[in-house]
Structure 1
């Protein structure tokens, strides 16, 4: 399987973001993420979670028969996004794209950022997060990132030090450097070309491209 979209709850997603979404082989909704996908006119294949939010917006009995529902108890040890990623990982996709999970509670947004960087998903070559204010890429090993020359990009270590970080195609290059949690070294770099290459020998970083209108 090539690409899976995961929709999470949160603030409504601007309609123009649908242009940022790739064609997908499967769409998974994490609880109220079902309404986010529906608002963009996308067909959900699987709905997963404890259903504590989605049932405020839609009746489960009214869902199309094509939607597979995987319901979990409210008292659980994983977030709905975590459960959605587990389902996605079983399909062995090349790419997973998260949509939503912003607005509302700050702890949910921070939790989403750490969840997509978890080592359990290391076998998925590309994990991205499409937000209304930015495009976020999880980088392990090597990734090619597209951007506009002069556009901002920040490289943030997640879950510990990121060692041997090298870049090409940025204004201020890194050369097998170590990025430590709490350091601002990787913040507000800029694209020198339309494509940048980021390499990480050990660890994981988020490459965050802010929307130019939000900067």
Structure 2
């Protein structure tokens, strides 16, 4: 019998995730809070198994709460070379989780959000990486696997190449279909496509894509 995939959920800092996201999340085998992500996790009804980061943004009362819980706490110095989000991703990969989902409400640190998406790509060679950012769902697509989205017809779907050109991009279920096309980095061709089917499929031959859609019940 095929075993269900093991998922890791990572709650990061910034604004609180949308409460409606709760219904879209997989059953998590591992819950990691990155610094002030602890507050977001517990507010959504999750008890983190691990708290990691430099603890520069978690509120003192939440840090006390974490120490009183069964969670393992891994504290890093503030002067470090990677973000707390990257530390959490590295930890999930260390435990060999192959389905990793980030939760973020967004916020005013665009640099952190941009770095977060690139961190997802850096771990996508042998893992399925996705995120909810505000009311958007993000799925990283690499040549390793195609992605399938179940979307209401008319949903906006954007395909953003990351780290270079995405070649051999093929889609089904979109108004402007691609067939072994190239989406160039530093260009906007893949932005604001429209789902014409409730099932959208995207694959590519080389490169990486961030596939971004508005939040809906069918995203997976």
Q: TM-score scaled to structure 1, two decimals? A: 0.91
> For structure 1, which segment, 29-38 or 189-198, has the greater mean C-alpha deviation from structure 2 after superposition?
189-198
Structure 2: stretches of 5+ with no match in the other structure: none
Partner of 2:152 in structure 1?
Answer: 148
1:210 to 192, 211, 214: 214
Alignment of 1:164-179 (within 5 A): 164-179=168-183
Q: How does 1:81-96 map onto structure 2 within 5 Å?
A: 81-96=85-100
Q: Secondary structure at the match of 1:114?
A: helix
For 1:70 and 1:106, the matched residues in 2 are separated by 26
Whose strand proportion is higher, 1 or 2? Answer: 1
**What are the superposed Cα offsets for residues 162-190 of structure 1, whole Å, 9 maximum, x if unpaired?**
11111111111111111111211111111
Mapping 1:71-90, distance limit 5 Å: 71-90=75-94
CA contact (8 A) 2:9 2:101 kept: yes
Cα displacement string for residues 184-204 of structure 1 (whole angstroms, at most 9, x for unaligned residues): 111111112111111111110
Task: Report the Cα offset of residue 60 of structure 1.
Answer: 3.9
| Stretch deviating more after TM superposition (58-67 or 32-41) | 58-67
Whether 1:122 and 2:122 are equivalent positions in the alignment is no
Deviation at 1:210, TM superposition (A): 2.4
TM-score by length of 2: 0.89
| 1:138 maps to 2:140 | yes
Q: Alpha carbons of 1:67 and 1:123: their partners in 2 closer, same or farther (altered >3 Å)?
A: same
Question: Does structure 1 residue 200 correspond to structure 2 residue 200?
Answer: no
Change (3 A) 1:65 1:12: closer
Whether the aligned pair in 2 keeps the contact of 1:165 and 1:177 (CA below 8 Å) is yes
Provide the aligned C-alpha RMSD in A: 1.7
Say whether the 8 Å CA contact 1:170–1:189 is kept in structure 2.
yes
Partner of 1:17: 21
Q: 1:100 aligns with which of 98, 104, 107?
A: 104
Native 8 Å contact 1:136 1:208 kept in 2? yes
